[in-house]
């Protein structure tokens, strides 16, 4: 039995109290309500209590060297799970078996005293995480060098930015000799260069030092690059555990389900020349739907409202597969001489036999080309593509790649 973490039917319950929301009241209202309560005390409503299970029936294991991504929507129970494993809070039911020392980075600034300097907080935070004074001294120079805060080492951390907090906190947690490292979404605060450095360090402590890493993030690119397996949580329960790609695929498909129509609910910005006010995914018969065969034409219908004509109006489309970084950007032709003031509809057609099987989402960027960027509407619509039967081509699942084109072939004898 080599597991460093094992959870058995783990659950965490909270009690939620619902009370009637009180409006702002005058002195006369307060006196009047007090009199009413004295008269009608029997009819006074008792606040209703409700049980809320943040986690329920959680069963999984982690071996030395495992890099496990914990993913799911907000409120799925990801942070609660890490807090239970790090003993910040106690479970309501079930068992957690931990073999080894745990270090965790759960929230920005946790374990730091704002009035103490960075140097003093290294010793304080290291002690909280279980490091002895001799061990902290031995690792001190490595921690400072990794955090890149030597210049501000004797400055009180209350003057640190949130990014500097994360640098120092991660450096301490990563350099502690432990068997388990827990990291919540805090790396989203840091800059891109430091995130890359942190990911490299987590990869090293896992592969070279045999430390198990549990990593919570909404950034699927980071999950893909760091983790070897994933646990998908949904409403406090494990929906899937296994390969990273399968977990992300299920998560993205659920998150992007049935979004083939979009209406802009924000008021039109009168300082803008134009804006996008609706998007629909339709077929060649103008029917709105969410699923297509690759043998069908997919049409994106965009409602564009023009407040004032400008020669550089541009709408750029970004296509993503399973929520990944955009993989192609169709050129938006110059339609400025064809757009009129007020409501316009613009259509973009994706020909048949272009897209491979999968879920595709679309982002839209509104700008005056090379002059001013107005707004980006991120992944506001999506649709699914399935491979249709083609004579002579075997129908299998998961053809690699983003595109599935039918090309012309010639044989010259």
- List the CATH number of the domain containing 162: 3.40.50.300
- Res 319: pLDDT: 86
Same structural domain, 361 and 265: yes
User: Residue 311 sits in a domain of what CATH number?
Assistant: 2.70.50.60
Q: Which residues contact 301 (CB under 8 A, 6 or more apart)?
A: 278, 279, 280, 281, 282, 345, 346, 347
Instruction: Write down which residue in 204, 232, 255 finishes a domain.
Output: 255
Per-residue confidence band for 402, with pLDDT thresholds at 50, 70 and 90? confident
Do residues 80 and 211 share a domain? Answer: yes
Say if residue 43's pLDDT is above 60. no
**Are 300 and 288 contacting, i.e. CB atoms less than 8 angstroms apart?**
no
**Which of 21-25, 83-87, 170-174 is predicted most confidently?**
83-87
At residue 345, the pLDDT reads 92
**237 is written with which tokens?**
């329960």
- Of the pLDDT bands very low, low, confident and very high (cuts 50, 70, 90), residue 266 is confident
What's the confidence (pLDDT) of residue 33? 65
- Within a domain: 15: no
Same domain, 158 and 301: no
Highest mean pLDDT among 153-167, 178-192, 245-259, 329-343: 153-167
Residue 30 belongs to a domain: no
Average pLDDT over residues 16-36: 61
Query: Does 271 fall in a domain?
Result: yes
Lowest mean pLDDT among 35-39, 224-228, 343-347: 35-39
Return the closest-CA partner of residue 172 out of 211, 132, 104, 122.
122
Same domain, 223 and 278: no
* Residues 276 and 154 reside in one and the same domain: no
Query: How far apart (Å, rounded) are the C-alpha atoms in residues 202 and 57?
Result: 28
pLDDT in tens, 205-218: 888 888 888 888 87
Q: Which domain covers residue 116, as residue numbers? A: 53-255
Q: Does residue 13 lie in a domain region?
A: no
Q: Are residues 278 and 208 in the same domain?
A: no
- 223, 333: one domain: no
CA distance 330 to 349: 10
Residues 221, 321 within the same domain: no
What's the structural domain count of the chain? 2
pLDDT tens string 97-113 = 988 888 877 766 666 88
């Amino acid at each position: 039995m080599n597991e460093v973490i094992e959870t058995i039917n783990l659950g965490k319950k909270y009690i939620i109290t619902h009370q009637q929301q009180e409006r702002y009241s005058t002195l006369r209202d307060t006196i009047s309500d007090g009199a009413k309560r004295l008269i009608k005390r029997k009819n006074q409503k008792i606040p209703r209590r409700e049980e809320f299970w943040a986690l329920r029936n959680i069963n999984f294991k982690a071996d030395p060297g495992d890099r496990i991504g914990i993913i799911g929507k907000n409120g799925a129970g990801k942070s609660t799970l890490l807090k239970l494993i790090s003993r910040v809070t106690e479970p309501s039911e079930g068992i957690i078996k931990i073999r080894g020392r745990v270090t965790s980075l759960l929230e920005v600034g946790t374990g730091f005293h704002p009035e103490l300097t960075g140097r003093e907080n290294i010793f304080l935070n290291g002690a909280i995480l279980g490091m002895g004074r001799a061990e902290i001294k031995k690792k001190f120079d490595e921690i400072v060098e990794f955090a890149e805060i030597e210049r501000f080492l004797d400055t009180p951390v209350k003057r640190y930015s949130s990014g500097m907090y994360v640098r120092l906190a991660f450096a301490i947690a990563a350099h502690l000799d432990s068997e388990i490292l827990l990291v919540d979404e805090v790396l989203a605060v840091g800059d891109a260069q430091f995130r890359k450095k942190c990911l490299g360090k987590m990869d090293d402590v896992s592969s070279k030092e045999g430390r198990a890493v549990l990593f919570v993030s909404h950034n699927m690119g980071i999950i893909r690059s760091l983790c070897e397996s994933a646990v998908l949580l949904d409403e406090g329960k494990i929906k899937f555990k296994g390969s990273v790609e399968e977990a992300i695929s299920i998560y993205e498909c659920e998150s992007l389900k049935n979004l083939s129509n979009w209406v802009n609910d924000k008021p039109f910005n009168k300082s803008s020349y134009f804006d996008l006010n609706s998007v629909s995914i339709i077929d060649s018969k103008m029917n709105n739907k969410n699923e297509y065969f690759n043998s069908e034409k997919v049409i994106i219908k965009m409602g564009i409202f023009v407040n004032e004509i400008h020669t550089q109006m541009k709408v750029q489309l970004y296509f993503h597969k399973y929520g990944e970084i955009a993989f192609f950007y169709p050129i938006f032709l110059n339609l400025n001489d064809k757009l009129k003031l007020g409501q316009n509809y613009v259509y973009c057609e994706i020909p048949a036999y272009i897209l491979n099987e999968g879920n595709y989402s679309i982002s839209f960027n509104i700008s005056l080309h090379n002059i001013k960027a107005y707004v980006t509407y991120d992944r506001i619509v999506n649709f699914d593509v399935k491979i249709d039967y083609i004579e002579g081509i075997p129908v299998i699942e998961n053809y690699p790649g983003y595109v599935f084109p039918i090309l012309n072939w010639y044989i010259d004898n």
